[in-house]
Chain A
Amino acid sequence: MRRKIKITAVVLMTLVFSLLLSGNVLAQEEDHYGGTLNAALQMSVAHLDSDNSTDSLITAMMNHVYEGLFEFDENLNLTPHLAESYQIGEDGLVYDVKLRENVTMHNGQTMNADDVIASFKRWLELNNGGQLVSPYFDRVEKIDQYNIRFKFKEPYAPFLNILASPVSNQKFVVRAEEVVNEFGSDVIDRHVGTGPYKYEEWVPDQKLVLTRFEDYSPSPREGSFFAGERIPYLDKIVFNFIPDAQVRVSGVQTGQFHFAEEVPRDQYSLFEANPNIDNVIIYPDRMSMLIFNNANPPFDNKYARQAIAYALDFEELGYAMIGNPKFWRLEPALHEEGNPWHVPDAGKGIYGVYDPEKAKELLDRAGYDGSPIVILSGQDNAMERQGAIAIQDQLEKIGVEVELQLFDRPTVVERRAKKEGWHIHLSPFIKIVPDPQIHQGWTGTNKWISNWDSEESREMDQIFAEMLKEVDQEKRYKIVERMEEKLWDAVPYFNILDYSRLHIKRAELKNFKGSWQPFFWNTYLE
């Protein structure tokens, strides 16, 4: 009897304890809610309609308001988000998408196929990503309230990746049908989406204020970057537009801002020493591209282009362009390690091989006559400016005469569009690209980027055409391998290295994940 009581007591105690504990846990979970987050972003935007702009910052902020059918998770895996599931049929000509039911929009209505189709048609017509798709696209059909069929005229493999693309403004987001009908192709300034936050106020050049959407319907999947559950812990998010980096920094130092985007990398150790500030080094999400003008001698010859790759000490360039080795790493492939399209042995034997003698040999072989090489680069971006100066220095060491032309951005864009007057150009590219054909830089080989028009470029066109039609991931990967191999043989342009940007945040901002675009769901203030 006594024993029984004892056992009961123990069981009771355990029960009470566990209840208390769980209550505690629940209470803690509750505690995360509340607070206003102040973020300092580096640029202002002209408006908030992502389909009508090429500004990636619009997507970055409006990701809190709008959601896509598909989103990428931490490992760049395409994940259905507002979609529940999808099927690809008829050799890539038909995409059947089933939508999640009971998703409430900011106007109180439930999202259905009509909203998605209206938004999709607008995206196809206006958005830069949609315009890439539309030549291959046939039509979109409504099967029922929650089922949609996308039909293509020709197979277009990057379709789903483009829908979720984090590059520039390409992502497709679902807006309420009434808003799409109201604005048509005009810039939307009434925002009704499905996201965890809703639009409250926008003061141009000053701030954007978002408040929590109480009836938010989170995705049942586990939260990972843009995919899965997005929990709106914060009551309010204020995006402040602060163009001066030092002002953003001091704002975080004084506690005015909880987060500052892109601060000077060289102040890293300073932030590290401050217990109130956390450094957020994001995955190297930029790459510095060295682009040849393939139209003119000496770089109309592939040996001359290869010579430059051998002539450069990439590591030294890393220190000169970016500085602290925490912020850059050597990477020959167009897709970073961890990306499904990463090709590990790209550029083997040429990338990172510093061999000035071979470079001179190859230049002779290409018939280089010693005339000066013009490097055209921007002067406002540290990577472009310092990279150009460092490359000039290294080429001069092997006896190549170099003329440096540093200009402001618009002048650089204007000059590089011409066939004459420049030989080498440096440009930062977005690295996190979820599809080998999403980035406009290399979706076409004869575009501005290189004036590349030869036997080799036509072979590359062939590779791109095959890649566009191949919907099977593995077979498509094989084609990507061929592309990288070809690129490192012909070298119309090449990646010098990948580099990261540095953000800082206050220590009281918890569970912040540094991604290619900052987001504040699932984060909370302590």
Chain B
Amino acid sequence: MLFLKKYKKYEHPYITTSIIILIIIAFLSLFAPLLTDYNPVRNDARNRLQPPSYQHFLGTDQFGRDVFTRILYGIRTSMEVGLAVVLLTVIFGGIVGVMAGYYSQIDKIVMRILDALMAFPGIIIAISLAAIWGAGKLNIILALSFAYFPKMARIVRSAVISIKDLDYVDSARSVGAKDSRIIFKYILKNSASPIMVQATFNFALAILDEAALSFLGVGIMPPAPSLGAMVTDARTYMVVAPWMILAPGIMIILAVLSLNLLGDGLRDLLDPHLKNTLKK
């Protein structure tokens, strides 16, 4: 928690704003059942396409479902997907990156494979995997993690390479520390900041790509709420029921923007070179 010591609320407005937004979003998604009386999937088609009102804070959709309720549960889905993808990419990207960075024999083979994977845009890999495996939350999480982990592995690897020849690692080795101790105690601990920054970006990207996959119809299966799927459905009604597309759209923007700001802020905060230039 090194970075918390460096963090000062007023010197880093990006981080502060984004953390506030993220706390609100997390609150909304965690306490969704308490914040609304409606069920996100139950229909009431006789009250379809109702404009925002006292009963329906953000109106209703084409099935008469409360849009606000669906957004609460939709952001929940986004958060679940985002967190799971970040965990998986950090674990797998971390393992592959450390192995490749620390053992140069493995490096040559593994990195060429990862280069090949990175030649495809992540979203294309995710779409094809989701199309092959079928739609569903778990499949999306796996597909997105598979698409993102090469980049994570590459970042970890370069951090490991730059750290593994530093004096304190050499001295640890000279006193006879085992590889595992060196990796966990000296290398990983000191390469935490690029991993953390990349993880934040991955979180944002995962939310965006989950929305994109659901928008394309290979994501979360209806009727389960998802922000991307809500945008797809709303397209047809854009002219007659603009609240249907605005609400989930704004929610996606807020979530992704705050995470990106947080990532940028963290990078500024944790990068010693950038920090010096900023101070001048």
Chain A positions within 8 Å of B, measured between CB atoms, are 264, 266-267, 269-270, 315-320, 323, 379, 382, 385-386, 389-390, 392-394, 397, 404, 406, 408
Contact = CB atoms under 8 A, between A and B. Distances in A.
A269 to B, nearest CB: 7
Given A319-B48, A393-B41, A266 B240 contact: yes
A432 B179 CA distance: 77
A262 to B, nearest CB: 13
16 contacts: A266-B236, A266-B237, A269-B240, A316-B45, A317-B45, A318-B45, A319-B64, A320-B43, A320-B62, A320-B63, A320-B64, A323-B48, A382-B236, A386-B63, A389-B63, A389-B223
A122 to B, nearest CB: 41
Interface-central residue, B43, B62, B221, B236, by most chain A CB under 10 Å: B43
B217 A393 contact: no
B223 A320 contact: no
A2 B92 CA distance: 117
B185 interface: no
Nearest to A317: B45
Contact of A267 (B221, B223, B239): B239
A392 B65 CA distance: 14
A266 B49 contact: yes
A318 B64 CA distance: 12
B46 interface: yes
B33 interface: no
B62 A323 contact: yes
Contact of B222 (A267, A397, A406): A406
Contacts of A315: 46
Contacts of A404: 221-223
Chain A interface mostly:
helix
B42 interface: yes
B45 A270 contact: no
Interface in B45-79: 45-46, 48-49, 62-64
Count class of interface residues, chain B: 10 to 19
Contacts of A269: 240
Contacts, number: 58
Contacts of A320: 43, 45, 48, 62-64
Interface in B84-138: none
A320 to B, nearest CB: 4
Given A385-B222, A386-B62, A393 B237 contact: no
Nearest to A245: B236
A379 B217 contact: yes
Contacts of A385: 222
A393 B42 contact: yes
Contacts of B49: 266, 323
Nearest to B41: A393
B223 A392 contact: yes
A356 to B, nearest CB: 15
Contacts of A397: 42
Given A269-B240, A316-B43, A406-B222, 4 more contacts: A315-B46, A393-B63, A406-B217, A406-B221
Nearest to B240: A266
Contact of A319 (B41, B45, B222, B240): B45
Interface string B202-224: 00000000000000010001110
Nearest to B236: A264
A267 B239 CA distance: 7
Interface-central residue, B45, B222, B237, by most chain A CB under 10 Å: B45
B222 A389 contact: yes
A221 B46 CA distance: 46
A194 B23 CA distance: 73
Contacts of B237: 266
A317 B222 CA distance: 17
Contacts of B217: 379, 406, 408
Contacts of A408: 217
A243 B241 CA distance: 23
